[in-house]
Amino acid sequence: MTINQRTDMTNTTATGPLPQGHPPVAQPKVGVLLVNLGTPDGTDRASMRRYLAEFLSDRRVIEWPRAVWYPVLYGIVLNTRPKKSGALYDKIWNREKDESPLRTYTRSQGEKLAAALAGHDNIVVDWAMRYGNPSIESVLERMTKAGCRRIVMFPLYPQYSATTTATVNDKFFEALMKMRWQPAVRTVPAYHDEPVYIDALARSIEKHLASLDFEPEVVIASYHGIPQSYFKAGDPYHCHCQKTTRLLRERLGWDEKKLLTTFQSRFGPEEWLQPYTDKTVERLAKEGVKSVAVFNPGFVADCLETLEEIAGEVGETFHESGGTNFSHIPCLNDSEEGMAVIEEMVRRELGGWA
């Protein structure tokens, strides 16, 4: 009996019978791996310390010499910050699923992408976290065991930075280095200026503003910051953020006074990208601006930095400084607009593979 079957996992097609006694050969599959920043497993001190230790020991995140940083990290930060961070995570924790919103949304993005690609029976979609669980290495192992001989890895960051996209790539290729039989791989590039992304942000903003009972005088695009020294060393992140905002202004028909760019989440003694988000809303309120809305175009899913820091802390700062109306515009998350971006970027990179 003759069968048409691939006799190896390198996409070479052979027609004919397998040798006698040859084990069954599965059809090679193409994997799509979505990777987000990460999340602690729980809000307790041990879980938070484990997560923060992995995150803050990453050389892409903290570029200080280890001899200088490690005494601070292990002597001070990991003894004080886990309890504080755990209390903040507890405010936004998904009680129903006992997990952070970031994990909830990332899983949903993976499930919805799998449904969108269901017409391709040889595609496997999975998701992982750079820090915490599920780890990139564990999911990569699962995908290769499922027969994935080609993998598209998607770091879920619209704007490129060494602190985000590069460290995901590092961890992904580090896992590949441990494998004797490596799959062929592609990585999805930054998409800060892709029309589908700009349009998704614009439609999300328009939809949210239409639901408010006030009209914001100022709308702020708040991006996660990086130290100025990283930018001066050649990181393109600041330029990517500025371009996203500029294209969004053009799409919405707004000027530079209506839509501002700011940076949040600074940490440590270094000077970070400016203007700072918290200082900006404080200034606006003191100048008489009564209504403000803030969104986070650098995050594909709501998380601690958007739900607690912006919707919570920055909102309080605005009100305490004299502002009246404040609204946080949710991230794209697993919305129709958000999934359109993810699907288009993935389909592009699957070209010739699926």
Annotation: binding site: 224, 305
Annotation: binding site for Fe(2+): 224, 305
Contact at 8 Å (CB) between 201 and 243?
A: no
Query: In Å, how far are 174, 244, 298, 300, 331 from 223, measured between CA atoms?
Result: 28, 10, 5, 11, 12
Torsion angles phi and psi, residue 130, rounded to 5: -65, -40
Which three-class secondary structure state does DSSP give residue 32? strand
Name every residue whose Cβ is closer than 8 Å to that of residue 226 and which is 6 or more positions away in sequence. Answer: 161, 163, 235, 237, 238, 263, 272, 273
Contact at 8 Å (CB) between 125 and 109?
A: no
Q: How many CB atoms are located within 10 Å of the residue 203 CB?
A: 16
CA dist., res. 226 & res. 207, Å (int): 30
